[in-house]
Structure 1
Amino acid sequence: MTFSSQSYSRITGEDEDAQEKAFTSQLTIRPVEVRRRRWWPWVLHGALIGLYTIVFLTWAVSLRRSRSFQFNKCASKQSMYSPAHEAVHYETVRFNGSLDFPSPYAGPPSPAIDAAWDRITTNNALWTIRLSDDDLERIHKAGRPSNVRYRPEDGGGNMGSIEVFHQLHCLNMLRKYTYPKEYPELQKLWTTRPKFIRSHLDHCVEMIRQNLMCASDIGVISYDWISGWDKPFPDFNTYHKCRNFNSILDWAERHRVHVPPTHIQRLGDKIDLPDAPN
């Protein structure tokens, strides 16, 4: 039997040092590579979370804009064109229809009650806003020489106002005439200009009637049995989908035209209507 001969050579000091360096370098590199590999899942997860956040925020903003668009679209369907459509925001409101509800607008006249009404009826004077010619076109009032226009030095445009404040003005007039002694100035007008006052009050009743019938609230009133009452008692504390009035009031305040009364002048000749619009 023969054996293959193997030769062995002694490792020199330099070769030993080189091998040791190579071995230690591998030991130091491998943990770094492991750490790098461990970081990648976290980086990937962070990127995905960031992406999901961006997608969610984009969706939320678009949803909010879509809802705002739908609300404005709903407002435009429920009323004629108005530059105040942008101020319309809907909310659910519970009416308090109890007979003894301490409303800030009801009860015997007082400085506080008058101040509350003055705020929403603009001190019995209709706030005016500026309407463009396009606005007049959209409310079917364009092309009339009789339209009241502001002077160019006052910004130009056409005079307008928002309906709800006129309706509240009318309601306030009727309220005051139920307290003749507390408002002697109105009683004086009733004495000196009875025909004018009578037509004014009838006008107010008619405007409120038309508005109520136009809105035709189809909310439902339920009835309860009340101790001491022989007949069913209506529960007027009902829920309604309302336009936020303060939002509309704020819009009117921001768009109010501050022009001195002396600047409201006829800008042309032969522009008067022969009689009040009918």
Structure 2
Amino acid sequence: MEATGDFNSLFGLGYGQVPVYTRARRMNKVPFKINEMKTFLRETKRFQRAGFHDDRHNDFTIYEGAPNELNNAAWEKLLNVGVVGISDGEDLRLINGTARSITNPSVHIVELEMFHQLHCLKWLRDRYWELEGAVTTSMSVPQRQAHSDHCIDYLRQVIMCHGDLTPITFEWSQGINGYIAHHSTPHMCRDLNAIYEWAATRDDTGLRAGGNHENVDLEEHEKFD
């Protein structure tokens, strides 16, 4: 099957096995399931195997390091897209619908979750480096900087690997003369308690995920000023 890029494909992948409700939900009627969608994005050819980058053994990615012209441009390119247009028919499939585009009223707008997640991560990345610059003007804490840089880039890779396509809907607010995004879109999530409980049954290593793996020297270098 050829890739078509229609909203059925996007919506099916974004929600996975979550029941998708139609306009009946808006009219306070009993919602009904849409047949499970067969999406081209589920096909193997729409996935790619990729090892996560490890800067201990490789050069930095184009996203890492203190903000500069090159990595800022890479981050900005990631966020140049992500708010997409959907048709009237596609809008009717959303539980509460979404706003029309004011620049192109023939379409409604949704943001794909992956791009919102990347936006939030970039915001934290920018604030981190602002604070880091205020705390120290030297490289006296290189390990702490390297660890923070690793965490930011690791989360970037996780977000881009999972590629959450859940649609974020919008409404137009006359009060602020702008769009308000709704971030309470239902997601199909793994059971955190089940994962935690399973991990607890195997907790016999003497190590913890939140620690530095018993590396005393590392802990000393990562203490904040």
TM-score (norm 1): 0.33
TM-score (norm 2): 0.40
Ranked by relative contact order (alpha carbons within 8 Å, sequence separation 6 or more), the top structure is: 1
The structure whose Rg is larger is 1
Q: Which has the higher helix share?
A: 1
